Amino acid sequence: MELSTKFSSQVPDEENQRSSETIQYIVIRLGEEQYGIDIRNIETITRMQHVTRVPKMPAYLKGVINLRGVVIPVLSMRLRMNLEADEITKATRILVLNLEQEGNVGFIVDEVKEVVSLNVDDIEKIGENNKEGKANLINAVGKHNGELISLVDLNAISLEG
């Protein structure tokens, strides 16, 4: 009895430690650059589909789609980051994020590449001073297999551009 409780209490401890050290990110591609988005905020990933345009909206707000009976807005990640307009290819995906304030919001990305686990030690926060331009959506940079992945700040990515 005693033994088993000891044993079972150890396992979650170990798990907790491990998960506090690494965070899983979904790596997406926009043009040549790679960005990482915390996997915990991702609701689903869908193929590109017809987006219904909503008039009088800022350019980066591409319109709305039907996600399982719910109407959700879709934004262009590229335009949001002041990059060139999207070029829809077979690899284009809509990444649906669950944001605290706005609920589900879709983002059009060029490609969804992989899921990586980044060690907390490999993540470097970007200071306030360095945030400018598109970088204001990036709050950290992660190192993975010698490549750099910009980590998107989900609080900043939401509404106002």
Partner 1 sequence: MDVSQYLEIFLDETKEHLQNLNTRILELESDPENADTINEIFRAAHSLKGMAGTMGYKRMQNLTHDMENVFSEVRNGTIKVMPEMIDVLFQCLDALEEYTDNIQSSADEGTNDNEALIRQLNDILNQDAAPRGQDKAPEKQEPAAAGSAAPGGNKWDSIRLDSSQIAVIKEAQNQGKKVYGINVLVQESCILKAARAFLVFKAVEEVGEIIVSDPSAQDVEDEKFDRDFTLIVLSDAELDAVIKAAESVSEIEKATGAPLVLENNKNAETEETPEPEEPEEPEKPEQPAVQSAPKVEKPAAPAPAAQTAKTDGRKPAASKPVVNRTVRVDIEKLDALMNLVSELIIAKNSLVSTSSQEQSGGSNSSFNEQIEYLESVTTNLHESVMKVRMVPIESVVNKFPRMIRDLSKKLGKKMELYMSGEETELDRTVVDEIGDPLMHLLRNSADHGLESAEVRAQRGKPAVGSIFLDAYQDGNNVVIEVRDDGNGIDVEAVREKAIERGTITPEQAANMTDKDIIDLLFLPSFSTAKKVTDVSGRGVGLDVVKSKIESLSGEVEVKSKLGEGSTWTIRLPLTLAIIQALMVVVGDEKYAISLGSIQTLEDIPPSEIKLVQNKEVIHLRGNVIPLIRLNQVLDVESKRSEDENLIVVIVKKGDKTAGLVIDELIGQQEIVIKSLGKYVKQCKFISGATILGDGEIALILDANALI
Q: Please give the residue ranges that form the binding site for partner 1 (CB under 8 A).
A: 50, 52-57, 61, 64-66, 69-73, 101-103, 105, 159
Minimal distance, residue 149 CB to partner 1, in Å = 27
Please return the burial class of 84, using the count of CB atoms within 10 Å of its CB with bins 0-12, 13-18 and 19+: exposed
Q: What minimum distance in Å lies between the beta carbon of 41 and partner 1? A: 16
> What does the block give as tokens for 79?
């335009």
Question: How far from chain centre, in Å, is Cα 144?
Answer: 16
Which residue's CB is nearer to partner 1, number 27 or number 65? 65
Smaller CB distance to partner 1: residue 28 or 72?
Answer: 72
- Which C-beta is closer to partner 1: that of 105 or that of 149? 105
Nearest distance, CB of residue 73 and partner 1, angstroms: 4
Cβ distance to partner 1 smaller for residue 50 or 90: 50
* 118 to 24, 51, 140: CA distances (angstroms): 6, 33, 12
Cα separations (Å) of 137 from 124, 130, 140?
A: 15, 11, 9
